[in-house]
Amino acid sequence: MPRSHHILSAASNLLGITLLIIAGLHIANRAEKSFADEIAWIGALCFALSCGLSYLAIRSGNDSSPSETIADNLFLTGLLALVISVAVLALSHVV
């Protein structure tokens, strides 16, 4: 079964969460005090590209599309960036 449907669904949901984190940091005036904002932007970019590429893979109908592989890798990169962003934000409250 193609992964593109799952990638598109998960990436779009995580894109929303990432943008919510970015907005929250700006509303709370914490964006200037932490690198969490910049790292979250990297994650948002990866999730947005992953959404686009997985959509293209679905449209192509090819089960082993190169865009699906790239979307999968971008999804994992975005997920890693999101986890690092949250960790940086959490550690900035400790220090």
User: 26-79, pLDDT tens digit by residue?
Assistant: 898 877 777 888 999 999 999 999 999 999 988 888 767 888 899 999 999 999
The alpha helices in the chain, defined as continuous H runs, are: 4-27, 36-60, 66-94
SS3 70: helix
Residue ranges covered by each domain of the chain: 4-94
8 A C-beta contact, residue 55 and residue 86: no
What is the pTM for the complete model shown?
0.89
Instruction: State the residue for tokens 């997985």.
Output: 54
**Does residue 1 surpass a pLDDT of 60?**
no
pLDDT class of 95 with cuts at 50, 70, 90: low
Report d(CA 60, CA 34) in Å as an integer.
41
